[in-house]
Amino acid sequence: MNSGSRFLFFCFVVVCSLSCNDKKSDPEKSDYIQAKLNGALWSPSSVNCILLNDTTNDFRVVDFSASSSGKTITIEAKDNATGGSINTGTRTYAAGSAYFGYNSSGTVYHTITGSLTIESVEASSQLVTGSFDFTVEDNSGNQVHISDGKFVKVSYELKTQ
């Protein structure tokens, strides 16, 4: 290889290494819920999650609530873990292990079908991640399908009564 070829090779290596810089990924989103309401993306302005341990009546539930622009989604799921943890897995309306609610500007809807999957729990940090999908209907028969729902590292508060 002559000196001109080596110089061109060196320039090629330098240009390639400069153009192949590591792209920094965006920081991971956390503490949010989003879903599609009849196909339209909806991201609530407020999110709340409580793990309620009722020692008097001997039950535990995980309760999610999210609202924005006159719309509120609520999800309640039975849980049988202990302490500050939440069991992973799927809960469904059909099995009676999950309940779903939707309210839009005062119109209340009742659940037709639904499922909630708790994918991961970081009990020490009290963070929960998962997905949901459900369909509700108002008293006039108008349905709303809440699809592609997800919650990512939503912080939860443990309450015992």
Q: What tens digit of pLDDT does each residue of 41-58 get?
A: 999 999 999 999 998 988
- 140-160 average pLDDT score: 96
Does residue 16 belong to any structural domain of this protein? no
Q: Total domain count for the chain?
A: 1
pLDDT band at 31 (very low <50, low <70, confident <90, very high): confident
Q: Does some domain include residue 124?
A: yes
Question: Cα dist. 54→78, 158, 159 in Å?
Answer: 12, 11, 8
Q: Say how many Å lie between the first and final Cα of the chain, rounded.
A: 81
Is 74 within the bounds of a domain?
A: yes
Q: Is residue 110 part of a domain?
A: yes
Does some domain include residue 147?
yes
The helix/strand/coil state of 80 is: coil
Residue 27: its pLDDT value, please? 52
Distance separating alpha carbons of residues 158 and 156, to the nearest angstrom? 7
Is 10 domain-assigned? no
Per-residue pLDDT for 124 more than 80?
A: yes
- Residue 149 pLDDT > 90: yes
Q: Is residue 9 part of a domain?
A: no
Top pLDDT among 102 and 9 is at 102
Whether the CB-CB separation of 3 and 110 falls below 8 Å is answered with no
Residue range(s) defining the domain that contains residue 117: 31-160
Please report the pLDDT score of residue 32 as a whole number: 84
Q: Kindly state the average pLDDT of the residues 60-79.
A: 96
CA 80 – CA 64 distance, rounded (Å): 17
pLDDT greater at residue 22 or residue 152: 152
Reported as a pLDDT band with limits 50, 70 and 90, residue 114 is very high
Residue 13 counted as domain residue:
no
